[in-house]
A and B are shown apart, each in its own frame.
Chain A
């Protein structure tokens, strides 16, 4: 199975800060990465697919980049409603696998 190592596992930032989360795959997976946001008690929500393509209706402050084994998810200006846990997921090779999650809190 492809391991997705996500970091940090948690972070605290101020409103307006730039937030960056990384995900490293255990082997080359091209650009086959999704990023999800999960708020407490809710299902995950797709934000980014194909490593850098925004899903429909997603605010432009969210972005993704990377290819191969190293991927980055960025919130350009943290908003209070962005408090959530963020997950990466690869779909290059089955089984589909997810990163461990990054919990984002407001400082």
Chain B
């Protein structure tokens, strides 16, 4: 079955770069879109951006200046880089599979990233 798992540091210092990787198993990353979505503890969900296997990306304009999403098809994984982080970027970060204009049908378990010195 399709499984996604986020990996990366749980603590990032202010002004530094948050970097996460999503390992995909049970399904080739060479179809569907792959997204990053975040959720501050106790709050709502925010779409960060999505990538297709050919490298096509779509970003939330609210974060676009600080976000890069990349894909590594040989290792069936994709990554998130968010620069110049502040405490407002502290959240659970989820990776997910979706149709760009359709259902988000598989999610990773999520990983909590805290921005603090």
Could you give, for residues 48-67 of chain B, a 1 whenever the CB lies within 8 Å of some chain A CB and a 0 otherwise?
Answer: 00000000001011100000
Give me the interface of A with B, judged by CB distance under 8 Å: 1, 32, 34, 36, 42-46, 49-50, 55, 87, 89, 91-92, 94-101
Min distance, Cβ A23 to any Cβ of chain B, angstroms = 12
For B46, the closest partner residue in chain A by CB is A98
A-side contacts of B58, CB under 8 Å: 94
Query: In the complex, A49 Cα to B58 Cα: how many Å?
Result: 21
Min distance, Cβ A36 to any Cβ of chain B, angstroms = 8
Question: Which one of B62, B103, B107 has the highest number of Cβ atoms from chain A below 10 Å of its Cβ?
Answer: B103
- Interface majority SS (helix, strand, loop, mixed), chain A: loop
Q: How many residues of B contact A (CB 8 A)?
A: 22
Min distance, Cβ A31 to any Cβ of chain B, angstroms = 11
Known contacts A87-B44, A89-B45, A99-B44; A43/B109 CB under 8 A: yes
Give me the interface of B with A, judged by CB distance under 8 Å: 35, 44-47, 58, 60-62, 94, 96, 99-105, 107-110
Known contacts A43-B94, A89-B104; A95/B45 CB under 8 A: no
A-side contacts of B104, CB under 8 Å: 34, 36, 44, 46, 89
Q: Could you tell me if B102 and A49 are in contact, using CB atoms closer than 8 angstroms?
A: yes
- 16 more CB-based (< 8 A) A-B contacts, given A46-B103, A87-B44: A36-B104, A43-B96, A43-B110, A44-B104, A45-B107, A49-B102, A50-B102, A50-B103, A89-B104, A91-B102, A92-B101, A94-B58, A95-B47, A96-B47, A98-B45, A98-B47
